[in-house]
Amino acid sequence: MRVLFLAPAYPPEMIEYTRGLAELGHEVYGVGDGPAAALPESVRRSLTDYLQVPQLLNEGDTAPRVLSWFGERPPERALSNWEPLVMLAARLREHWGLAGMAVDTVRAFRDKQLMKERVASAGLRVPRARRVRTVAECQAAADTFGYPLIIKPIAGAGSADTYRCDDPAQLQRALKLTGHVVEASVEEFIDGEEFTYDTLCIAGVPVYENVAQYLPKPIEARSQEWISPIQVAVRAQTQPRLLPGIELGRKVLKALGMQDGFTHMEWFLTPGGEAVFGEIACRPGGAHLVDMMNYAADINLFREWARVVTERKFEANAPRRYNVAIVFKRAHGQGRITRIEGLDEWKRAAGAAFVGEHLLRPGTPRRNWKRTLLSDGHVIVRHAEWEECLRLAKLAATDIRLYAE
């Protein structure tokens, strides 16, 4: 099968999806804005051909170039697993008449206000929200919903440019910080624990499901530099307190018309046990979430995704054996990493539960912690027992320290 895959090497996890398609014997045609010579060797080996475009995210320029490149022999699939490109993939599918979700369906996974309206119309609990474009509209929404509230981009990803506002002064500060955002959503604040509901679907029906918990909630982790954010993929997904979120997620997929591929949903569990929808995307979760799902069951979901979107089959034997935690670290100080402390001691304490680590090494410039959850690297641990997995993750959060100057 001839498959168009937009952005085959960026973000870095896209390398694995490219390889997954090639391993199943498909002809993979990549499109990106970097030169072919700069692609990782594994990507070059996986691609049948590659088109470099000037500005990949400029749909008006990129789409005609891709159409001209394929000419009268279009591919059989047009795919993207990167949030900014899912709409372009949908538009190309629609132009060629290919299998896959249509533009209107994908738009509801991209536009946060539209998605909430469609989910709410199915009778599901969503935060009250309003689309805003001006300061006056933001203030009017705040007057309607009251405080605390959340302001976030309509077409954002993760928790970038997302702020909690507890009073009018905080709203004014958030409006200054989000002045570059064209459209935003002002939402009711939901008090509760925050989880993901991740799926790999065939015809909208999950063939693989995952629930992970954020510790602390993403908006809190993005507000304090000293925090080492933790995310834990849960082994025991059938426990009663998680079932409302799983049931909610399945209904959301139906309400939005999901078809084939990954989804990544965030939801809240209130102190009263109610599951409340947060938002959803029709692509895999980032920040190594799919790696965590793989470690939980010792499977390869990169390849299974490729099988799902091309053959509508899922062949992995996927009983969950482990809870899997990832801990993102942020260095103390600014500039370049100078030293790492506590890593070897933590690895000895973790023993066989240690999966891997990718911390920035001395001499490497620090990343901007406000712009990327990846921070200055991470460690991963897994264990069959929830409490032990969480204990080791919290130990990594407190005892591993990176320093920068």
**Which pLDDT tens digit goes with each residue over 68-90?**
999 999 999 999 999 999 999 99
> Is the CB of residue 330 less than 8 Å from the CB of residue 376?
yes
DSSP string, 77-115: EEE--SGGGHHHHHHHHHHHT-SS--HHHHHHHH-HHHH
Average pLDDT over residues 272-283: 96
The token pair that represents 169 in the structure block: 């002064």
Alpha-carbon span 81 to 66, nearest angstrom: 17
Considering the domain 2-100, what is its CATH architecture? 3-Layer(aba) Sandwich (3.40)
Coil, helix or strand at residue 106? helix
Lowest average pLDDT, out of 21-30, 131-140, 158-167, 342-351, goes to 158-167
Q: What CA–CA distance (Å, rounded) separates 101 from 335?
A: 44
Give the pLDDT mean for 105-127. 96
Q: State the distance between the two ends of the chain, measured CA to CA, in whole angstroms.
A: 51
- The whole-angstrom separation of Cα 371 and Cα 367 is 8
Question: What residue has token string 């982790």?
Answer: 221
What is the residue extent of each domain of the chain?
A: 2-100, 128-188
Fold assignment, 128-188: Dna Ligase; domain 1 (3.30.1490)
Residue 22, classed as helix, strand or coil, is helix
pTM recorded for the entire structure = 0.92
Task: Please tell me the least confidently modeled range out of 25-34, 170-179, 317-326.
Answer: 170-179
> Taking all residues of the chain, what is their mean pLDDT, rounded to a whole number?
95
Which has the higher per-residue pLDDT, 220 or 352? Answer: 352
